A and B are shown apart, each in its own frame.
Chain A
Amino acid sequence: MRFSKSLLLFPVPALALYGTFFVLPAVQGLQYSTTDWDGFSPSFHNVGLDNFREVATADDLFRNALGNNLKFLLAVVIGQTVLALFLAVLLAARSRGSTWLRGLFFLPTILSSVSVAFVWRFVYDPNFGLANRLTGLHESYLGDEKKAIFFVAITQIWFHAGQMMIIYLAGINQIPPELYEAARTDGANRWQQFRHITWPLVAPATTLVVAYTTIQSFKAFDLILGLGGNPPRGALDILSTRIYTTFANNQLGYAAAESVVFMLAIAAVTVAQNRATRLAHR
């Protein structure tokens, strides 16, 4: 077949958009990260790798945010994946009840994160909140320095588990029913069917859910600001809110350096998780 050079024009719009809105800002971000620009002054200084050195060695607030983010990530990835898979397995059968319940569990996903944060602020309120009323406890929830981030994780799980459930449902519906019939004929109980059929065959869905949940956990910016205020206290500060606070503090160069480290952290965790997921499904 004859190759027409004019075909080369077809990717130009996509490449132009990608270049303008992704590549150039990313390159510019890298450039800013080596400066001390405050975000509005006409002048700035190049500081080389000083911003990165400071982020790595002399920034307790960034380290605290990273620690909080990892705790949040662990709680959300484990909690959300387990809950989503549990709900998907329970609701895989097609019946009127399960269709209704799927809709119910998916409902929080369509709400805006600001609305979710607003509602859960009242749930967690120590004096008027639903959480203390239902449990009879006297917890301060978001005011508890050690546990606050886990209470935000519960909100995030409530918010997105229904969405992940749909991905798992799609995965489960792809599994041929004959496999379960054969397993039942061989005397496998429900746990054995799950362990040896469902779990290995939903591996692609699990990879997707874990990767998506990981990225979501790193970017839970609006939920944190809605629940913890702006800027959030140390107990609720995660990497995205830390970067925003640095930006708001007129340290754009330093915020750009934090963003680069943030991007590397997401990449590292995602790669590690992909490997772990593959191992778990062997």
Chain B
Amino acid sequence: MSNLSRRTLLFAAAGSALAACAGPGGDADEKTVTGFDGPVEGQLSFAHWRAEDKDVLEQIVASFVQKNPKVTVRQDISPSNDYQSTALQKIRGGSVGDAFTAFRGAQFTQIASVGVFADLSTQSDLVGKFDPKLIAAGTSESKQLGLPYQLVFNMPVTNVDLLAKYGYTDLPKDWDGFLGMLDGLKAKDVTPIAWPGGDAANAGQLLNTMVMNNIPSDDALGKFETGEVKATDEWFVHTLKQYAQLRPYVQSGANGTGSEAAQQLFATQKAALLATGSFMAGAVRKLGAKFPLGLYAPITTTADKAKYEGVFNATFILGINAKSSKQGAALAWLKHLADPAVAGVYANGTSQHVTVKDVEYTNEDLKSFAPWLTRKTLLAPRFQFNNLDVRSAVENATVQVVGGTDPAKAAEAAQRVIDQKR
């Protein structure tokens, strides 16, 4: 081997070693960004977490492609918790997620902070199709970076017929009344609440309604991370004691129950309430439930002290990747989704309300949930957590209490983790 080729090899090896150890923080590969005026063509990646909406979105893709024959749309779907964990890493390079979605709260804030959202503020013909009251969760520093698409109610779903059968047509408006109703249902051999305590993603949904009147502020749970509130505070220990009161009224082995099993209990009319949210209506229907569905949030205070009746969340925040080379096509895709007729297909096909104006809801469940669009509801506090470990500590405390742990001890253990991790 000549001296030159040996030296070349040496330089190449040293160069690659230095490049690899150059330190964190390097940016992903640069691509040509075309801007919103770019052509509506090529294969568009739409990254999201709603595998259950895939078929309905395929219908919408088909109508989009019919209008724009030079473009195709690929759905890049990850399970919701994985999406929460890894979406930012995947989409920041721009190869996945020309158009993408984000969860309200921590994920939206992170993605916005690294500049992955293209600014939609100037796209008035797109933004104007949404209800302005419901898209605030997509703004950052006065810019409209994303557009929340789904409007869900993170509160227990009810079997209206079963409750009516046992005389519960007007549902209780205070905690004692709620416990009385649960007691009455249990006496009739009905499991009052199906609760997926074994599924971290859904076990925590009940926390939204359990705290909405105990500490009626939509950033209350986020204050765990700043230290402004503590798990050992009286209001939270009181909330945990209320969880302890629910022990006799959830299904046997609730802490080991997954979402599918909880849905099954509810769909087969063995349970009267499904303590998750309106987003499970579609899954319950797929399991064969024919009865009318309603929504109900337990009021944890006396009726006169209750500030809110329920909880909502505007999420599935649509955005366009600032690193995408197909921003023109991505914008056209978002405009298509924002068309009231198309949004209606999505809403009625997935049993979820949307934030788009002038949508006609034909789905019976959506019609039944519609009164909640104008009731006194709180933006879901659970989604104010930015730190997964802090969120888990708080939510695990509730699960452990239902499993038999003393509320004060669970609160202390949670606070210890919060102090270490916040």
A, B: real partners: yes
Interface residues of A (CB under 8 A from B): 5-6, 8-9, 12, 16, 19-20, 24-25, 27-28, 31-32, 35, 37, 39-44, 58-61, 121-122, 124-128, 132, 138-145, 148, 228-234, 244-250, 252-253
Size of B's binding interface in residues, CB under 8 A: 51
Determine the chain B residues whose CB is within 8 A of the CB of A231 once the complex forms: 81, 200, 388, 392
User: When the two chains form their complex, are residues B114 and A40 in contact, meaning their CB atoms are under 8 A apart?
Assistant: yes
- Report the minimal beta-carbon distance from B272 to chain A, rounded to whole angstroms: 15
Given A42-B27, A61-B389, A126-B253, are A27 and B21 also a contact pair (CB < 8 Å)? yes
**Cα distance A28–B128 when bound, in Å?**
47
Given A37-B24, A126-B252, A143-B403, are A24 and B388 also a contact pair (CB < 8 Å)? no
User: When the two chains form their complex, are residues B253 and A127 in contact, meaning their CB atoms are under 8 A apart?
Assistant: yes
User: When the two chains form their complex, are residues B25 and A41 in contact, meaning their CB atoms are under 8 A apart?
Assistant: yes
- Report the minimal beta-carbon distance from B307 to chain A, rounded to whole angstroms: 31
Q: Mark B72-102, 1 if CB is under 8 A from A, else 0.
A: 0000000101101110110010000000000
Determine the chain B residues whose CB is within 8 A of the CB of A43 once the complex forms: 25
Determine the chain B residues whose CB is within 8 A of the CB of A138 once the complex forms: 252-253
User: What are the nearest 10 A-B pairs in CB distance?
Assistant: A126-B253, A143-B256, A143-B255, A248-B85, A140-B253, A140-B256, A230-B81, A37-B24, A24-B20, A229-B200
User: When the two chains form their complex, are residues A121 and B420 in contact, meaning their CB atoms are under 8 A apart?
Assistant: no
Choice from B9, B198, B396 contacting A234 with Cβ under 8 Å? B396
User: When the two chains form their complex, are residues B84 and A248 in contact, meaning their CB atoms are under 8 A apart?
Assistant: yes
**Cα distance A61–B254 when bound, in Å?**
24
B187, CB-defined interface residue at 8 Å: no
User: When the two chains form their complex, are residues B21 and A24 in contact, meaning their CB atoms are under 8 A apart?
Assistant: yes
| B 212-266 contacts with A by CB, 8 A | 251-258, 261, 264-265
- Report the minimal beta-carbon distance from B245 to chain A, rounded to whole angstroms: 19
Choice from A9, A35, A148 contacting B1 with Cβ under 8 Å? A9
Complex: chain A residue closest to B23, CB-CB? A31
Q: Per DSSP, are chain A's interface residues mostly helix, strand or loop, or mixed?
A: helix
**Cα distance A122–B198 when bound, in Å?**
12
User: When the two chains form their complex, are residues B255 and A144 in contact, meaning their CB atoms are under 8 A apart?
Assistant: yes
User: When the two chains form their complex, are residues B388 and A248 in contact, meaning their CB atoms are under 8 A apart?
Assistant: yes
User: When the two chains form their complex, are residues B24 and A229 in contact, meaning their CB atoms are under 8 A apart?
Assistant: no
List 16 additional contacts besides A19-B17, A31-B21, A248-B388; criterion CB under 8 Å. Answer: A32-B24, A39-B24, A40-B114, A61-B389, A126-B252, A126-B254, A126-B257, A127-B251, A127-B264, A138-B253, A143-B254, A231-B81, A231-B388, A244-B85, A249-B387, A249-B389
Choice from B9, B25, B256, B420 contacting A141 with Cβ under 8 Å? B256
Given A24-B21, A140-B254, A143-B254, are A233 and B396 also a contact pair (CB < 8 Å)? yes
User: When the two chains form their complex, are residues B23 and A127 in contact, meaning their CB atoms are under 8 A apart?
Assistant: no
Q: Mark B165-207, 1 if CB is under 8 A from A, else 0.
A: 0000000000000000000000000000000011111000000
User: When the two chains form their complex, are residues B256 and A249 in contact, meaning their CB atoms are under 8 A apart?
Assistant: no
- Report the minimal beta-carbon distance from A134 to chain B, rounded to whole angstroms: 15
Determine the chain A residues whose CB is within 8 A of the CB of B388 once the complex forms: 231, 245, 248-249
Interface centre among B21, B92, B405 (most CB of A within 10 A): B21
21 A-B pairs (CB sep. < 8 Å): A5-B1, A8-B1, A24-B17, A31-B24, A39-B89, A44-B23, A60-B417, A125-B256, A126-B254, A127-B265, A140-B198, A140-B254, A143-B255, A228-B198, A231-B81, A231-B200, A234-B396, A244-B85, A245-B388, A247-B85, A248-B85
Determine the chain B residues whose CB is within 8 A of the CB of A145 once the complex forms: 255, 400, 403, 405
